[in-house]
């Protein structure tokens, strides 16, 4: 049964055809958000408030280093970073990545930086760090690298127990 209103039939809830038509009727899409509701993402600003091309270049190269897998890729990205005139930031994630470098001098530098960092803050991802240090302790060619890796591994173990 339908009711007439303004020369247009309005189906009652008992009418199964109306339910079917409502099911297949095109939906009304909500309007797009107003411009004030759109989120604006801004890059990390330097001291003067602007992101310069040099800072953007460094961030790009650090993203490549974070994404690098294996000794060859880490070595290649690190060499490109140094060739562009950048230095590695004092950051656990980056220094942990450099532990995969094929040059043991770079690895020893990273071990020293990590040693200093772990005096001030707890280790991030201690399981991953412990595994890399164990690998260095067992497989490094130079005794100095093995000794530094063993000392840092002991420090990581003690820090994990403390925190």
| Residue at 78 is within a domain | yes
Please give the pLDDT value at position 36: 62
pTM: 0.63
| Residue at 10 is within a domain | no
| Residue at 16 is within a domain | no
Please give the pLDDT value at position 78: 92
| pLDDT surpasses 70 at 14 | no
**pLDDT tens across 27-61, in order?**
777 776 666 655 666 555 544 455 688 888 888 98
pLDDT band at 72 (very low <50, low <70, confident <90, very high): very high
Please give the pLDDT value at position 5: 45
| Residue at 104 is within a domain | yes
In terms of phi and psi (left: phi > 0; alpha: psi -120 to 50; beta: otherwise), the region of 106 is alpha
CA distance 136 to 147: 9
2: phi then psi, degrees, rounded to nearest 5: -120, 155
| pLDDT surpasses 60 at 25 | yes
What domain range includes position 104?
53-162
| Residue at 4 is within a domain | no
Number of structural domains (the chain) is: 1
| Residue at 57 is within a domain | yes
**pLDDT tens across 92-115, in order?**
899 889 888 888 888 889 889 988
Please give the pLDDT value at position 4: 47
| Residue at 32 is within a domain | no
**pLDDT tens across 121-153, in order?**
888 888 888 888 889 888 888 898 889 988 988
**Contact in structure between 9 and 3 (CB atoms under 8 Å):** yes
| Residue at 46 is within a domain | no
């Amino acid at each position: 049964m339908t009711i007439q209103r303004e020369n247009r039939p309005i189906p009652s809830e008992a009418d199964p055809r109306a339910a079917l038509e409502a099911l297949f009727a095109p939906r009304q899409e909500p309007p797009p958000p107003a411009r004030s509701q759109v989120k604006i993402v801004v890059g990390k600003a330097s001291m003067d408030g602007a992101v310069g091309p040099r800072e953007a270049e460094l961030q790009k190269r650090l993203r490549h280093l974070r994404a690098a897998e294996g000794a060859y890729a880490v070595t290649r990205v690190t060499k490109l970073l140094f060739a562009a005139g950048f230095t590695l930031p004092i950051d656990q994630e980056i220094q942990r990545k450099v532990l995969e470098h094929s040059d043991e001098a770079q690895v020893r530098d990273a071990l020293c930086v990590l040693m200093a960092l772990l005096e001030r803050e707890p280790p991030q991802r201690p399981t991953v760090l412990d595994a890399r240090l164990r690998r260095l302790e067992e497989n490094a060619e130079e005794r100095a690298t093995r000794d530094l890796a063993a000392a840092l591994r002991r420090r990581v173990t003690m820090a994990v127990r403390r925190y």
